[in-house]
Structure 1
């Protein structure tokens, strides 16, 4: 086991899980309040409250799926599978930003996309939890 890569993967996984947990606030904070914070939050007005709850629920499940399978040692292969799904989530977020013409606010989505791809690559490839 490459301890440095293993540690880096855990750090990135924890960071992604934290970002996803913070992002679930869209389920509890009114859309108008999120949109009033700044240009980067205006996208929520394009979605219904129900759609935002679905997105928030997926983010909550993703945060759990990035950490719990490995910590509990129950189907740890779900960690890279979840990371792949998180990457798809951020592809969608980046696409939405491009369609809205928000090129300046796309950078965090691309960084999170890269982090998710790194976790998927690392846990499917050189540092899997099993075998």
Structure 2
């Protein structure tokens, strides 16, 4: 089987390559997922995306905004009020991520067992 060559214009080998580069990192898919239904303020996102540091969450939000996936709305109020929402492109991406979420939910026990086995393997190898 031959492997596809990267597109000379975009540099992507396929659509999946383009998507994965856009959502690369541990947190971007979760941010997109938690914004899928409605805008969220920063604090709501921070609580939803458990384990992410403030620095990384801010960085990821800025990258998603720069990529046209998320829009940041500043209401110019005192105290400050800012929220984040998906753009139309971001909403279409969230729709594409939904089946992955459903698969993960349906296979949660199997995935948890795989990660437990992986941890044991690493302990034996380490």
Q: TM-score range by the shorter chain?
A: under 0.3
Structure with bigger strand share is 2
Instruction: Name the structure, 1 or 2, with higher relative contact order (CA <8 Å, separation 6+).
Output: 1
> In terms of Rg, which structure is larger?
2
Structure with bigger helix share is 1
TM-score normalised per structure 2: 0.26
